[in-house]
């Protein structure tokens, strides 16, 4: 299962995936609010073993599943 699929599964598990695609704008489409965004950050850090800095937790990096996956993949490459 790739990064995007694992993140998508998190949305499915939280019952937040109705009509969701990898490119859906999460904030504009109201898939996430500030509390759920915090849950996503905690999920990403635990699931992928990465620590996100304040600058990385931005609307740009969390506007879609693709954006979150790109951030995670970049952080994982830094670890190698």
- Split at pLDDT 50, 70, 90, the class of 44 is very high
Q: What is the pLDDT of residue 33?
A: 87
Q: 38 vs 79, which has greater pLDDT?
A: 38
- Domain at 3-79: CATH architecture: Orthogonal Bundle (1.10)
Rounded distance between C-alpha atoms, residue 50 and residue 16, angstroms: 23
C-alpha dihedral over 17, 51, 46, 19, to 10 degrees?
Answer: 0
Q: Tens of pLDDT along 7-24?
A: 999 999 999 999 999 999
Burial (CB count within 10 angstroms: exposed 0-12, middle 13-18, buried 19+), residue 64: buried
Q: For the residues 34-55, what does the mean pLDDT come to?
A: 95
């Amino acid at each position: 299962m790739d990064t995007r699929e694992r993140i998508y599964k998190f949305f499915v598990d939280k019952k937040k995936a109705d009509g969701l695609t990898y490119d859906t704008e999460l904030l504009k489409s109201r898939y996430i609010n500030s509390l759920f965004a915090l849950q996503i950050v905690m999920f990403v850090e635990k699931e992928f073993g990465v620590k996100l800095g304040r600058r990385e937790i931005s609307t740009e990096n969390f506007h879609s599943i693709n954006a979150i996956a790109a951030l995670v993949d970049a952080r994982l490459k830094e670890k190698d």
